[in-house]
Amino acid sequence: MLIKCIFFDMDGTLVYVPISPVQFLSKVYEKLGLRFGSDQVDVAYEKAEEWFARRLSDYRLRKREAFVQYNHELLRLLGAKGDLWTLAETVQDYWENMPEEAGEELFPEVPSVLRKLRERGITLGILSNRFSPVSLKSLQKHHIAEHFQHIISPQMAGAPKGKNGPEMWRFALQKAAAKPNQVLHVDDDYETSLLQAKKAGIRTILIDRKRKHPSATDCPIIHDLGEVLEYL
């Protein structure tokens, strides 16, 4: 059966960020005149991530106000002074502009592949655990937003486990207005995302740019996005 809609993950599939979250935070703090050692930020980041996982294990709660609380906790752990809530709001602004601020890169073959897929009349969408504003900012930065009809996040889909639960995939099928075997998902996350997509009946392709999954046998494996065209 012909593919009517293809959903793509973001990180590792279409784009990559050349610096770590700790490096990004250190860069943001420096811009705000906050001086913390890299080891200090590293320790605080690890503790804040644990705090975030406990408080916000449900992806539906991960909206801007929750991320501001997370940034506030980070600043508190770092011993920052002043109006921490205002600072936390400002840091979140940087997070939402992360594709620009962190120097995010687009894999070089992506624009050509997207154009060819659109020329075939295939509807394209983003399905990612990213906060939607960050996904949109990324697509705009790389001038590929026009190719996508859908941007799906856990918050939009009402998916408490994100891509690791059935709700995200049911929502994607509703948006695609297609049968499961008419929909394809391309992702670099085999263990959770692709296995859940398969459970929903969605066709899957693993993009394994770093060749981490040589033993995966239950879905096609590609190493460059251009190879997607061979499976349509």
Q: What pLDDT shows up at residue 54?
A: 92
State residue 190's pLDDT score: 85
Give me the residue spans of the domains in the chain. 5-17+106-231, 21-101
Dmax over CA atoms of the chain, in Å, equals 60
What's phi and psi for 62, nearest 5 deg?
-85, 70
Burial class (CB in 10 A: 0-12, 13-18, 19+), 215: exposed
Angle in degrees, 0-180, between the axes of helices 64-78 and 38-55, rounded to the nearest 10: 140
Q: What angle do CA 161, 162, 164 make, to 5 degrees?
A: 70
- Domain spanning 5-17+106-231: which superfamily? HAD superfamily/HAD-like (3.40.50.1000)
Q: Which pLDDT value is given to residue 181? A: 94
pLDDT tens per residue across all 232 residues of the chain:
689 999 999 999 999 999 999 999 999 999 999 999 989 999 999 999 999 999 999 999 999 999 999 999 999 999 999 999 999 999 999 999 999 999 999 999 999 999 999 999 999 999 999 988 999 999 999 999 999 999 999 999 999 999 999 999 999 999 999 999 999 999 998 888 888 999 999 999 999 998 887 667 788 999 999 999 998 8
pLDDT score for 1:
61
Helix (H, G, I), strand (E, B) or coil at 186: strand
pLDDT for res 212: 81
